[in-house]
Amino acid sequence: MVGNVTAKNLISFCGGVEAVFESRKKALLKIPGIGEAIANCIVNQDVLGEAEQELSFIDKYNIQTFFYLDKNYPTRLRNYNDAPILLYQKGNADLSHPRNVAIVGTRKPTPRGKMICEELVEGLQEYDVQILSGLAYGIDITAHKKCVELDIPTIGIMGTGLGRIYPASHKSTVHQMLHNGGVLTEFSSQTGADYHHFPMRNRIIAGLCDALIVIETANKGGSMISANLANNYNKDVFAVPGRLSDKSSEGCNFLIKTHRASLIESAKDIGYVMRWDKLDQSKNIQKQLFVDFSPKEQAIVDSLKDADSKGVDQISYEANLNASEMAGLLLELEFKGIIQTLPGKRYMLV
């Protein structure tokens, strides 16, 4: 009944979660987007019983939660207006991993598509990445299984609750993924596989990744939704091309033709575009800076010292600077030769 944007408006107008449930109906109705049905539900506190059940599930199965106002909420998602208000995670995945690559594609891949997917995952291993996908049939589960085989961290972004693994045939793979990665969802534990939940799931995949790879897709479908979202989020999108006669590659060819994705043939292409090969070569070089910085510039430099690179959202959060301040400061530091801009609005110390 209440979406993420509406929920955030409620908390913002009321001043906190508890204040929402302490508010009177008259006050709630003054909030944009709040009508009689939602106001009555809040005033009568109909949702508190369900919340108690959810807390029991979280405690019983050792689920991690990430509320959008908490410090541990993924920085890559924090500044998106449509980002989930609450995330549930099972496993030991690092949502702040420095290199997240999403792999998406058709649910009915060709043998060639599966082979390419496995080769890309294997090639990406040397770049110390974490692989994200949607746990669906086809390309998604192929990527997850190859990660398990190679002990590469992988996260399955679900369109259901953690109590309803879908498809059920992937439960054994999920169990294996928990040892080096896990599963993540915005839906409460007993939420089933409603068709409209999967496009919602795709925005988390697009938001959490630094690069998104499309392997075999038609012109329409979940993979194209993920690719378009990633472009809207200023993420780097890559697509594996196919022959003109291949229906399974129509979407990939279209993304390349319309400059919405870069053509790739191997993982090395991704490393080159993302400049990850260069980052790896400079990983062990000690960074010594002999420049006087303003306090705000120093905050940015300090944020970048402990990582190869970081996204602008994470730097902004750690340096406690707003977007307008960040733009000028980052440009000034780049002019000084202190930082370098990377694809996907990421930055590194030179």
Domains of the chain: 1-46 (1.10.150.20), 91-275 (3.40.50.450), 282-349 (1.10.10.10)
- Beta pairing partners, 53: none
Side-chain half-sphere of 71: how many Cα atoms within 13 Å?
2
Q: How far apart are the first and last CA of the chain?
A: 48
Paired tokens of 277: 């090969």
Task: Give dist(CA 98, CA 311) in Å, integer.
Answer: 9
Do residues 64 and 182 lie in contact, with contact meaning Cβ atoms separated by under 8 Å?
no
**What are the tens digits of pLDDT across the range 71-84?**
899 999 988 888 99
Burial 168-201 (b: 16+ CB within 10 A, else e): eebeebbebbeebbbbbbbbbbebebeeebbebb
**What are the tens digits of pLDDT across the range 219-245?**
999 999 999 999 999 999 999 999 888
Higher pLDDT, 73 or 348: 73
Paired tokens of 172: 């054994």
Q: What is the mean pLDDT of the chain?
A: 89
Paired tokens of 221: 């479908």
Q: Please give the DSSP secondary-structure letter assigned to residue 166.
A: S
Residue 293: band (very low, low, confident or very high) from pLDDT cuts 50, 70, 90 = confident
pLDDT of the residue at 281: 46
| pLDDT above 70 (res 264) | yes
Dihedral of alpha carbons 31, 36, 38, 42, sign = positive
Q: How far is CA 82 from CA 27, 95, 98, 277, 313, in A?
A: 24, 18, 22, 33, 15
Paired tokens of 210: 């630094």
Single pTM value for the model: 0.78
pLDDT of the residue at 1: 58
**Where does the chain have alpha helices with state H?**
4-14, 17-22, 25-28, 36-43, 48-60, 75-78, 111-124, 139-150, 171-177, 197-208, 222-232, 250-257, 267-274, 276-281, 295-305, 312-319, 323-335
Task: Give dist(CA 323, CA 300) in Å, integer.
Answer: 13
Do residues 209 and 274 lie in contact, with contact meaning Cβ atoms separated by under 8 Å?
no
Residue 123: band (very low, low, confident or very high) from pLDDT cuts 50, 70, 90 = very high
